[in-house]
Amino acid sequence: MENPSATLSAVPALDNTYGALLLGTFVGLILYGLVIHQSFRYFHKFPNDRRSLKQFVGIMLAFETFHSALAVHWCYTSLVTNYSHPEALLLTTWSMNMFPALTGLAIFVSQCFYAYRVLLIGAKYRILVAVAILLSLVTLGCATANTALSFNSITVIEDIQRVKWIDSFGFIMAIISDTLTTGVLVFNLHQRRTGIRQTDHLIDRLIMYCLNTGLLIGVTNTILCVIGFFQTEALLFAGLVCAATKLYSNSVLAVLNSRRSSAPGNEAEESYPEVIVMSDIGTAPVGALPAAHVDIGRQLAAEAQYKLRPAYGMWGYHDSEDANGSRSTIEAKVAGIH
Q: DSSP string of 162-214?
A: HHHHHHHHHHHHHHHHHHHHHHHHHHHHHHT--S-HHHHHHHHHHHHHHHHHH
What's the confidence (pLDDT) of residue 269? Answer: 45
Question: What domains are there in the chain, each with its CATH number?
Answer: 14-257 (1.20.1070)
Backbone angles phi, psi at 91, to 5 degrees: -100, 150
What's the confidence (pLDDT) of residue 36? Answer: 96
What's the confidence (pLDDT) of residue 232? Answer: 62
C-alpha span between 324 and 10 (Å, rounded):
53
C-alpha span between 276 and 335 (Å, rounded):
8
C-alpha span between 152 and 68 (Å, rounded):
23
Give this prediction's pTM: 0.72
**What is the three-class DSSP state of 259?**
coil
Reduced to 3 DSSP states, what percent helix, strand and coil does the chain have, rounded to the nearest 5? 70, 0, 25
Per residue of the chain (338 residues), what is the pLDDT tens digit? 445 444 455 566 777 788 889 999 999 999 999 999 999 999 999 998 999 999 999 999 999 999 999 999 999 998 899 888 888 888 888 999 999 999 999 999 999 998 888 888 878 889 999 999 999 999 999 999 999 988 888 888 777 778 878 888 888 899 899 888 888 888 877 777 777 777 777 777 777 766 666 667 888 888 888 877 776 666 788 888 888 899 999 989 988 887 776 566 554 444 433 333 333 333 333 333 344 333 433 443 344 343 333 333 333 333 334 444 443 333 323 333 33
C-alpha span between 145 and 143 (Å, rounded):
5
